[in-house]
Structure 1
Amino acid sequence: MSLVMYIIYFAVLMLLPLYAQRKVKSTYTRYSKETSTSGMTGAQVARKILDENGLGNVRVEAVDGFLSDHYDPTTKVVRLSTHNFYEASVAGNAVAAHECGHAIQDAEAYKFLNIRAKLVPAANISSNASWIFIMIGMIATYQPLMLVGIILLAIGVLFQVVTLPVEFDASKRAMRQMSEHGIINNDEYPKAKKVLTAAALTYVAAAATAVMELARLVLIYTGMGNRDD
């Protein structure tokens, strides 16, 4: 890679995630201060959507942290950050509905969610082990070790890529559920969508940077082979 390409690469690698984080934080903060017209808290929104979809077995719990909201498929629990759980805001309602979207995906055996779940164990191991092989391979200029590292890293990249349709689909389901069950009105619809779009951007940034890093390492790997010829 040329010097210019490296500068562009590192600029994107650093700036894209920062922009995504700033965007989601600013958008969430803005609409978390706007009370929803339904007056429903995030916990109430989650409970309503789950019950409307026959998911009475899925619990809703509060969890500490900022935007720590998530759905745990192993215990069938939607966990909402404290503010979203107790407050009635447009942003909190959107986030709660999004996590319920994951619960609905789980109940319907959504293909990409199942693929991601199967990749979790391998991705957790490979993300840490990959760089050991890559660094040793680069230092020793030994291609086989570096190739092992790249393959392991590729598993993590695949996980990031598969996450995208999972998140986009959950947001799509969330918007539909909120609209169909009268949780948001026409004025709130675009605001809730902005919150979920901003959140999705963080996953796009993570996937993009992961793909770029993998591509860079593949170029280094092939360059090592060319030097050996």
Structure 2
Amino acid sequence: MFPFFYDPYFFLILIGMGLSALASMLVQSTFSRYSNVLSQSNLTGEQAAQAILADQAIHNVTVHAIAGNLTDNYNGQNKTLNLSEATFNQTSVAAIGVAAHEVGHAIQDAQNYVPMRLRARIVPVANLGASLSMPLILLGIFLGMNQMLINIGILAFAAVLVFQVVTLPVEFDASRRAIASLRNQNLLTETELSAVKKVLTAAAFTYIASALSTFLQLLRLVLLFSNRNND
């Protein structure tokens, strides 16, 4: 019988979905709350980013505005720091905190931060694993529960989890660098920095929730197919 018709471990998927939804709600609500708190410096996210880049003597990174809400990112390949509409021209402590976090990635890049380099190397493997894992598992099922194909599919999916785990220290360190830069340059007061920490902690929870969700999916696959194999 097709093993997904009866799945006693499906609750693991639901737990993962719940964690991800909770994390998304938390970051949205926290960012929204502190988007209404304007900084005393009256700096925009873009200005704060430029100030930190200049202080770190990083002159090969350009700052751009992009569409969307919380779509901020740093692209190490073309050295661009992309700030969303909710960040670029906004003077809230939330906007400045998110902008500083992305600059944290630029600083990591400039200083050859090892976890960031490792993550970049894992990206192709993780993308390949995400694309091939389920097709391999399904092929193994249709070929009469071919355990070798199923195991290869599970290992391919595990590559996604490895990528997400490696991502955690990269994100945590970028936030640490952001707080340090904002404090050292007196861009925000200590009270405002406390608010930024809450925003960045909420954002970090999304990465933790994503990794936990992927772990639970991987655990489900291992339990499901190891039990089938034992049967």
Residue 105 (structure 2) aligned to one of 79, 102, 106: 102
The equivalent residue for 1:164 is: 168
Q: How many residues align?
A: 225
The equivalent residue for 1:90 is: 93
Unaligned runs of 5+ in 1: none
CA contact (8 A) 2:9 2:220 kept: no
Between 1:21-30 and 1:10-19, the stretch displaced more is 10-19
Residue 77 (structure 1) aligned to one of 74, 80, 84: 80
Matches within 5 A, 1:1-229: 6=9, 8-139=11-142, 140-227=144-231
TM-score, normalisation: structure 1: 0.94
| Partner Cα distance (2:68, 2:194) in 1 | 26
CA contact (8 A) 1:143 1:224 kept: no
Unaligned runs of 5+ in 2: 1-5
* Larger helix proportion of the pair: 1
* Matched-pair identity in %: 42
| Partner Cα distance (1:16, 1:138) in 2 | 29
| Partner Cα distance (1:217, 1:201) in 2 | 24
- Secondary structure (helix, strand or coil) at the match of 1:56 reads coil
| Partner Cα distance (2:22, 2:93) in 1 | 22
Provide Cα deviations, 1:80-122, integer angstroms capped at 9, x if missing partner: 0023101111000000000000000111111110111001112
